[in-house]
Amino acid sequence: GATNVMLQNGSTDHIVKVNNPYLQGQEDDFLYHFGISKNEAGGLKECFGDVKFVCTGGSPSRLKMYAELFHNDSGLPLSENLSRSDRFCMYKTGPILWINHGMGVPSMSIMLVETIKLLHYADAKDVCFVRIGTSGGIGVAPGTVIVSNGAINGLLEQKHIQFIKGNIVKRDAILDKTLCNDLYETASQLGIPVDRGLTLCADDFYEGQMRLDGAFCEYSSDDKFDFLRKLHSIGVRNFEMESTGFASMTHRAGVRGAIICVALLNRLNGDQVSIDKSCYHEYEMRPFRIISAYLRSLLTEN
């Protein structure tokens, strides 16, 4: 029969929230970066009304691979690419969407805004968003998966910073504790090296993460190690480039959000990401194996 994802937190009937009075007066809405319209033939509700999970990560080919592997793991049918734009890909396996977000908050926020509107129009209920990505570890062995228990900006605040109307607007970056704990437990059960910690969301891969191998570097090696040690002492375990935006937008949409990223390297030992292809593949599979096992544990025939 039809397969459905049951949520275990007892929450029911939570819509995906938008907060924009102007949307109500708008007949149609074109989700430009997916090439999908609110008034699609076929209907968004029919196509996306059953969605319970959105799994996202940076690269389009990796997300396509994850969707195919999950289709194999779960037996759920795999859609074609539902995005008609080449900015983002979108695959559906039953109640689970697989969408890439590109690199950095500005790219990811476009994807999230359009996905939140899509799922709102589709009347999807009780949706979780999980970012399964890569990161630079801080004092953790390469290959360790970090389950974020908070996301901080470059000022080390658990806030997402945005410029609006010429002002700085700061919004709380909040992840779902239950979902994070469940994913941590799943990783432990699978025997995948896993740690919990804060994630620093940088707006840059090089100077923004205090690398010594960028085109520009106006701080010393000592400055770098002082900063990394300071971050480690306050509980930061990895750098990536989307977490505060992800945590604040999912929170504003009233959906549960979690972030699990594999550390490709330990930044205390270097800056270059020079692992070989098979090692990279083994590492990028770890967050997928966790989410796949977790999702399959929630699937029930009904």
Residues that bind ligand URA (CB under 6 A): 134-136, 205, 209, 239-241, 264, 273
Q: In the window 95-114, what residues touch ligand R2B (CB under 6 A)?
A: 103
Using the structure block, give the residue that is written with the tokens 């937008």: 249
Give kind and range of the element (H or E) at residue 148: strand 145-152
Backbone phi, psi, residue 137, to 5°: -75, 150
- Nearer to ligand URA (CB atom), residue 209 or residue 250: 209
- Residue 205 binds ligand R2B (CB under 6 A): yes
Using the structure block, give the residue that is written with the tokens 């059953």: 50
Tokens in use for 101? 């977000």
- Residue 240 binds ligand R2B (CB under 6 A): yes
Smallest separation, CB 259 to ligand URA (Å) = 12
- Nearer to ligand R2B (CB atom), residue 62 or residue 224: 62
Task: Report DSSP letters for 15-81, one per residue.
Answer: B-----HHHHT-S--EETTTTEETT-TT-HHHHHTT--EEEEES-HHHHHHHHHHHHHHH---B---
Smallest separation, CB 39 to ligand URA (Å) = 38
- Nearer to ligand R2B (CB atom), residue 36 or residue 145: 145
Smallest separation, CB 211 to ligand URA (Å) = 8
Residue 117 near residue 42, CB atoms below 8 Å: no
Tokens in use for 67? 């969707």
Question: Binding pattern to ligand R2B, positions 30-69, x when CB under 6 A?
Answer: ----------------------------x-----------
Interacting residue ranges for ligand R2B, rule: CB under 6 A: 58, 103, 133-135, 205, 240-242
